Amino acid sequence: MPAVTVDDLLTLPRVNRPDPATQRPRPVRSITTAPRGFEGEGFPVRRAFQGVDLVDLDPFIHLDQMGEVEYAPGEPKGTAWHPHRGFETVTYMLDGILDHQDSHGGGGTITDGDTQWMTAGSGLLHIEAPPEHVVMKGGLFHGFQLWVNLPAAQKWNEPRYQDLKSREVELLTSHDGGALLRLIAGEVDGRHGPGSTFTPITLIHATLEPGAELTLPWRPDFNALAYVLNGDGFVGPDRTPIGLGQLSTFGQGDTIRIAAKDRQESRSPKMDVLLLGGRPIGEPVAWYGPFVMNTKAEVMQAVQDFQAGKLGTIPALHDHGNVDPDDGTDQVGDRA
């Protein structure tokens, strides 16, 4: 039961089918399978971008699919307080509830199709955790967290928090009414999502009926990525097979194509795909744990500033634990 659903897709505005005579489909460049890992205090994730060069992901850095997992009572987990600097985190929940709070005054509760958009900018501390009543009860937990890089000129921006409710998301359907498109940020076929981003991106959560085919116009100056959250299908002009936990990167062109298999597994009767595109920043990336800067010296500075308490302090109400400098994303990306 993912995120916002619509009973009759035919009531929604339709995205025009791009003209195949003039609009070139973007070819599939790579298909990779996300390894499983654990994040924060131990919630299960799939590392969607693992094995893909940062150059092909630019302006995106990191994507974790959180779950999908059915928790027993007492099992739901979150993160400890930890810092970030130099980029934006985008957290979206399909199922379950996550509370967020940061040291800059941002915070809120997200559930069932809500998005929390946090611009870490010059730096802050935050915590993400299921509320107490969810921990007591357990239940389904499914979402994703995406990291969007900031260009050097905006890495020192004041932190910002956007709480995007599911009702604000722009709902569209494909030309044949076979897919529900939730436009969270950016533009597609002249329609705009509510998310405001420093780096121009397009972010869509698409749900395809079995057998549905989706062709979307895609800005040629953006990169293009498709990650399958649930179900099985095909991507690109040659119908390359893709399934749960797999990422496709696309080459140059004007449109992207996704199709759902006629038969889906009964536990996920529809295909859910995250579609991502952004204008590459094209700057060096120096990445250590929760800090994404341009140079190693800037990363070292971030570590020192964090240790000196310059990224913020835990609000008094929650002052009961140590700050974990590493939120589990123990990867180091570095390219000149």
Rounded to a whole number of angstroms, the minimum distance from the CB of residue 189 to Mn ion is 33
Q: In the complex with Mn ion, which residue's Cβ is closer, 218 or 306?
A: 306
In the chain, what are the helix, strand and coil shares in percent, each to the nearest 5?
A: 10, 45, 45
Those residues whose C-beta lies under 8 Å from the C-beta of residue 11, and which sit 6 or more positions away, are: none
Those residues whose C-beta lies under 8 Å from the C-beta of residue 329, and which sit 6 or more positions away, are: 39, 62, 64, 289, 290
Q: In the complex with Mn ion, which residue's Cβ is closer, 89 or 249?
A: 89
User: From residue 268 to residue 307, what is the string marking binding to Mn ion with x (rule CB under 5 A)?
Assistant: ----------------------------------------
* Cα Dmax for the chain: 62
Rounded to a whole number of angstroms, the minimum distance from the CB of residue 327 to Mn ion is 5
How many whole angstroms separate alpha carbon 240 and alpha carbon 151? 33
Rounded to a whole number of angstroms, the minimum distance from the CB of residue 159 to Mn ion is 12
Total residues at interface with Mn ion (CB under 5 A): 1
Number of H helices, E strands in the chain: 3, 27
Residues 146-185 within binding reach of Mn ion (CB under 5 A)? none
Q: Which segment (51-59, 215-223, 259-267, 320-328) binds Mn ion by CB under 5 A?
A: 320-328
Q: Which segment (36-44, 159-167, 227-235, 322-330) binds Mn ion by CB under 5 A?
A: 322-330
Rounded to a whole number of angstroms, the minimum distance from the CB of residue 79 to Mn ion is 6
Residue number with the shortest CB distance to Mn ion? Answer: 327
Residue 110 φ/ψ, nearest 5 degrees = -120, 140
Q: In the complex with Mn ion, which residue's Cβ is closer, 97 or 323?
A: 323
Rounded to a whole number of angstroms, the minimum distance from the CB of residue 92 to Mn ion is 14
Rounded to a whole number of angstroms, the minimum distance from the CB of residue 278 to Mn ion is 20
How many whole angstroms separate alpha carbon 90 and alpha carbon 146? 5
Do residues 188 and 240 make contact, with C-beta atoms less than 8 angstroms apart? Answer: no
Q: Which segment (155-163, 173-181, 295-303, 325-333) binds Mn ion by CB under 5 A?
A: 325-333
Rounded to a whole number of angstroms, the minimum distance from the CB of residue 166 to Mn ion is 22
Three-state secondary structure string covering 142-173: EEEEEEEECCHHHCCCCCEEEEECHHHCEEEE
How many whole angstroms separate alpha carbon 231 and alpha carbon 219? 26
Q: In the complex with Mn ion, which residue's Cβ is closer, 18 or 96?
A: 96
Q: In the complex with Mn ion, which residue's Cβ is closer, 123 or 217?
A: 123
Q: In the complex with Mn ion, which residue's Cβ is closer, 265 or 326?
A: 326
How many whole angstroms separate alpha carbon 153 and alpha carbon 160? 16
Do residues 120 and 311 make contact, with C-beta atoms less than 8 angstroms apart? Answer: no
- Adjacent-strand bridge partners of 291: 85, 288
Q: Which segment (135-143, 159-167, 186-194, 326-334) binds Mn ion by CB under 5 A?
A: 326-334
Do residues 119 and 54 make contact, with C-beta atoms less than 8 angstroms apart? Answer: no
The closest of 287, 303, 238, 242 to 57, measured between CA atoms, is: 287
- Number of residues that this document lists for the chain: 336
Give residues in contact with Mn ion (CB under 5 A): 327
